[in-house]
Amino acid sequence: MFNVFCISGTVASKPECIVQPNGIKQCVVKVAVKRPYANAQGIYESDLLFLETWRGLADTASMVVPGTCINATGRIAARMSKDGSSERPQYAFVVERMDIVS
């Protein structure tokens, strides 16, 4: 079995970067990915996806600007989140490779 994603899209906003208490840098990049089909009005809508980058890749991701086209590959991580009395899975796209398309 494989746990792999491949996303090609446009950076939608400035990446949000933080340094974790253990000193590891994390950067979240919001990417707009166009859908391959038009809606009822003939418009191609986009989905907004949040990509997590860590350590050295977070340094690179922190420098991308909105409008930059990127290709990203990585894995999907599932984390359990408490919501009142129940637990629900939250999914994250963890980037292992990111290329800036020029």
Q: What pLDDT does 81 receive? A: 87
pLDDT of the residue at 102 = 77
| Count of beta carbons in the 10 Å neighbourhood of residue 9 | 22
Instruction: Indicate the pTM of the whole model.
Output: 0.86
Q: What is the pLDDT of residue 2?
A: 92
Give the position of tokens 């408490």. Answer: 82
> What tens-digit pLDDT sequence spans the chain (102 residues)?
899 999 999 999 999 999 999 999 999 999 999 999 999 999 999 999 999 999 999 999 999 999 999 999 999 999 998 878 888 899 999 999 999 997
Determine phi and psi for 69, rounding to 5 degrees: -85, 135
